[in-house]
Amino acid sequence: MKIAVLGCGAIGSIIVESICSGEIRNAELTALMDIYPDKCEKILENYCPTVKANISICRDLDCMFNSKPQLVVEAASQKAVEEYIPKILSRGINTVILSVGALLDENTLQEIKQACMKSGSRVYIPTGAIAGLDAVKALSNKGIKRIVLRTYKNVYSFDKNTLEKLGFKEVTAKTKIYEGRGDVAVKLFSANVNVVAALSLAAGVIPWVEVYADPELKRNIHEIEVESNVSTIYIRVENTPHPLNPKTSYLAALSALQLLKRIVVEEPIEVGT
Ligand SMILES: NC(=O)c1ccc[n+]([C@@H]2O[C@H](COP(=O)([O-])OP(=O)(O)OC[C@H]3O[C@@H](n4cnc5c(N)ncnc54)[C@H](O)[C@@H]3O)[C@@H](O)[C@H]2O)c1
């Protein structure tokens, strides 16, 4: 399968490495796109030195389309999803979306759904930095009464301006910096709580969210509580931050990698809902 990657950062680089090393079988990289093309050049140099001449480094979608990808992996930003994903889907190209927070915006969600319906393309959303979306999806068949996400990250993971806007100029101890609706949280912390959107799409209800900044914390922690008539679930995931981007959990990149393996290689036995 021919694959293009949008976003040459922490997650994009793991995807590129996995394609060029052959870890993802039957996958061929056709193009990389980023607002900083030098980042794409660097990862091609590091991970794809022998085939880099065949891989386009793009600044715009036309260049990416010329490389004829069958799948685009978005690992850039919510803004990139709004700007590019409906156009990519309209061409009939399937996409994997990491910046899933963008899909909590009703206009973007509708645009994406319409592009898929018109062209027959599909969107895949990896579980990302959490666990348990399979059970949440299953429970949504009978309705979910309550869903809460608590996220704890080191204070340096949060955008300084956002913290100041919320009235937290300096955070010297564990502090609750936000409590409220999930759709508001993904807009406020666009690079920190994409998992809210994945949970929301799986559950069919918007989670209640608490966000904590802790200067002592070395891991990114997500706690999820789900209550339904059928089951009560409590999940706690403690993630190592990605070395290239502390806002991103390493698990999120591995989750995208695993999803790609599932899309590209049809295994005879598939585990998980
Ligand atoms: N779903 C999840 O569980 C989950 C977990 C972690 C991160 N994420 C999201 O995935 C995305 C990628 O994460 P990352 O850690 O690799 O980020 P990163 O900051 O390391 O890399 C993002 C790259 O995309 C590029 N980029 C940003 N906006 C762009 C645009 N409009 N057009 C082209 N290039 C653009 C940046 O220059 C950068 O090189 C982020 O939006 C992040 O919030 C999702």
pLDDT at 87 over 90: yes
Q: How far apart are CA 103 and CA 105, in angstroms?
A: 5
What is the residue range of 221's domain? 133-239
> pLDDT digits over 116-159, tens only?
999 999 999 999 999 999 999 999 999 999 999 999 999 999 99
Residues 35 and 108 in one domain: yes
Ligand 1 mean position to 247 CA, how many Å? 10
Residues 112 and 8 in one domain: yes
Residues 121 and 143 in one domain: no
> pLDDT digits over 107-127, tens only?
999 999 999 999 999 999 999
Q: What is the CATH number of the domain that holds 181?
A: 3.30.360.10
pLDDT at 204 over 90: yes
User: What is the maximum alpha-carbon separation in the chain?
Assistant: 56
* Ligand 1, CB cutoff 6 Å, lining residues: 7-12, 33-36, 39, 75-77, 79-80, 98-100, 128-129, 191, 194-195, 198, 242, 244-245, 248, 252
Ligand 1 mean position to 6 CA, how many Å? 9
Straight-line distance from the first to the last Cα atom of the chain, in angstroms, rounded to the nearest whole number: 24
Residue 161 lies in a domain: yes
Residue 247 lies in a domain: no
Residues 114 and 168 in one domain: no
The Cα-based distances of 22 to 25, 47, 56, 264 in angstroms read: 6, 11, 19, 12
Q: How far apart are CA 189 and CA 204, in angstroms?
A: 21
Residue 191: predicted pLDDT: 87
Q: What is the DSSP string of 19-74?
A: HHTTSSTT-EEEEEE-SSHHHHHHHHHHH-TTTGGGSEEESSHHHHHHT--SEEEE
* Ligand 1 atom index nearest CA of 248: 6
Q: Output phi, psi for 143, to 5 deg.
A: 90, 140
Quickly count: other Cβ atoms within 10 Å of residue 146's Cβ.
13
The answer to whether 196 and 205 are in contact (CB under 8 A) is no
- The total number of structural domains that make up the chain: 2
Residue 272 lies in a domain: no
Residue 242 annotated in active site: no
Cross-strand partners of 29 = 3
Q: What is the CATH number of the domain that holds 32?
A: 3.40.50.720
